Amino acid sequence: MTEQPVSIVIVSRGRPRALRQCLAAVALLDHPAYEVIVVACAEGVAAAQATGLAAHLKIEPFAEANISAARNAGIARAAGEIVAFLDDDAVPEPRWLALLCAPLETTGAAAAGGFVRGRNGISFQWRARSVDACARTAPLRVDPERPTLLSPPPDRAVKTEGTNMAVRRDVLAGMGGFDPAYRFFLDETDLNLRLARAGLDTAIVPRAEVHHGYLESPRRGRDRVPRELREIGASLAVFLRRHAPPEARAARMAEFRAEQRARLLRHMVRGPLGPDDMLRLMRGLEAGLAEGATRALGPLPPLPHARDGFLPFPGGAGRPPLVLSGSWRARRKLRRKAVAAARAGHVVSLFLFSHTTLYHRVRFHPEGIWEQSGGLYGRSDRDGPLFQRWRRADRVTAEGARVGPARGLPAAKE
């Protein structure tokens, strides 16, 4: 168990319901000393205050649509020795914080990043990657079970995701935090490059897992169809000015245009976008690239020490895990039982299996329940067989072993 105090910074804008869900999961974290800082618009502030946890939260009102500046406002309130970051449309597994921060205490790492699962709660959105000075990423091979300490590769950095990362506060504040020139997109990637150029190591912690919803926002719809591309264009132009050799910038912009056009064409084929939408979005991208080419870039002064002391959050340390399982037909009864167990102080994993080959899904209920549903004979891991015969008890054991390290479930006895 990690012992250093940790500050969790959650930035929220226009998604109060998601923020409440995120905070419900944060309340179950198995860590002895953490505080929670919510940097939010008026809607988010009201949502945080209505959770019943307001007395245990540092709430920082923030109206500007700039995730870097918002994160810096959170860092300025952070009194922990480590600062961890979550998005409001993400929910962390119970062991996330302890696993993510452990390498920062036991190694010389300055930063750490975990794996991120997508909407179905099974497939990974992001795992280990590196990134170059033109913001091109490439996969990294790491141990899938244990932390891997990585020194920056030549001309590259170890990539972490803003919704699942932690950095030593003294390092982060000394570097000026996040660059406000990135209002959205590439903000954490810029930090990764600066950490690499300082010769600082990053740990990749696969079992420190976060589930990321990719919820609706002004930039994308519920189906992940883009609504605007201006800000990502501006951020790319800023990133290239900050990091890329001048002779490489035009080629990378052309490559990025082609990538975005291909993405929009896929949405056109699928149906949500029409030709006029594509033209409008590509014009927005060009406007963003032009804006980013002239956006003011200044030095990043060190961030101040926290103006108030550490505010311990009454989290989930010491909560015993409980596994419940049964058939899909009995789901209502089992869910009631799960809610009662969560209220009694357990971290509940509920497995509901039908006699089908349906793919599995995992979702977190704000009552404090992790529910996995699908066919008894169906896939959880999307690389697994389409059909596999199981006894129910054996399937529950297998799925418990799959999620156990991230959720704190005891290992099955041999």
pLDDT at 140 over 60: yes
pLDDT at 261 over 70: yes
- Comparing 311-315, 377-381, 408-412, the range with the smallest average pLDDT is 408-412
In a domain, 394, yes or no: yes
- 152 and 79 assigned to the same domain: yes
CB-CB contact of 4 with 166 (8 Å): no
- 378 and 261 assigned to the same domain: no
Task: Please state, in angstroms and rounded to a whole number, the distance separating the CA atoms of residues 160 and 345.
Answer: 33
Which whole-number Å values give the CA distances from 179 to 173, 186, 188, 298, 316, in the listed order?
12, 10, 9, 9, 33
Q: How many residues does the chain have?
A: 414
How does residue 214 score in pLDDT terms, banded at 50, 70 and 90?
low
pLDDT at 398 over 60: yes
Instruction: Pull the structure tokens for residue 157.
Output: 């950095």
Radius of gyration of the chain, Cα coordinates, nearest whole angstrom: 22
Q: What is the pLDDT of residue 222?
A: 72
- 240 and 379 assigned to the same domain: no
pLDDT at 185 over 70: yes
pLDDT at 7 over 70: yes
Q: What is the pLDDT of residue 287?
A: 98
E strands within 13-110?
A: 34-40, 57-61, 82-87, 90-92
- Comparing 121-135, 208-222, 228-242, the range with the smallest average pLDDT is 208-222
Task: Please state, in angstroms and rounded to a whole number, the distance separating the CA atoms of residues 297 and 286.
Answer: 20
pLDDT at 218 over 80: no
User: How does pLDDT run across 156-177, given as a tens digit for each residue?
Assistant: 999 999 999 999 999 999 999 9
Phi-psi category of residue 232: left, alpha or beta, with phi > 0 → left and psi -120 to 50 → alpha: alpha
Task: Please state, in angstroms and rounded to a whole number, the distance separating the CA atoms of residues 272 and 266.
Answer: 10
pLDDT at 232 over 60: yes
Q: For the chain, give the mean pLDDT.
A: 94
Among 396, 397, 379, 400, CA closest to 388: 379
- 278 and 337 assigned to the same domain: no
CATH number of the domain within which 79 lies = 3.90.550.10
pTM of the entire predicted model: 0.95
Among 4, 261, 222, CA closest to 112: 4
- 235 and 207 assigned to the same domain: no
Give the count of domains, the chain: 3
Average pLDDT over residues 212-236: 84
- 76 and 187 assigned to the same domain: yes
Host domain of residue 373: 321-407
For helices 187-197 and 230-243, the axis angle rounded to 10 degrees is: 10
CB-CB contact of 386 with 145 (8 Å): no
Instruction: Pull the structure tokens for residue 206.
Output: 């696969």
Q: What is the pLDDT of residue 1?
A: 47
How does residue 414 score in pLDDT terms, banded at 50, 70 and 90?
very low
Average pLDDT over residues 391-412: 92
- 168 and 119 assigned to the same domain: yes
CB-CB contact of 90 with 183 (8 Å): no
User: How does pLDDT run across 313-354, given as a tens digit for each residue?
Assistant: 999 899 999 999 999 999 999 999 999 999 999 999 999 999
Q: What is the pLDDT of residue 384?
A: 87
3-state secondary structure 175-189: CCCCCCCCCCCCHHH
Q: What is the pLDDT of residue 413?
A: 53
CB-CB contact of 30 with 317 (8 Å): yes
pLDDT at 362 over 50: yes
In a domain, 57, yes or no: yes
Q: What is the pLDDT of residue 60?
A: 98
Collect all residues with Cβ–Cβ distance below 8 Å to 395 and sequence separation of at least 6.
351, 353, 376
- pLDDT over 90 percentage in the chain: 89
In a domain, 300, yes or no: no
Q: What is the pLDDT of residue 412?
A: 58
- 243 and 158 assigned to the same domain: no
In a domain, 222, yes or no: no
Q: What is the pLDDT of residue 219?
A: 76
In a domain, 157, yes or no: yes
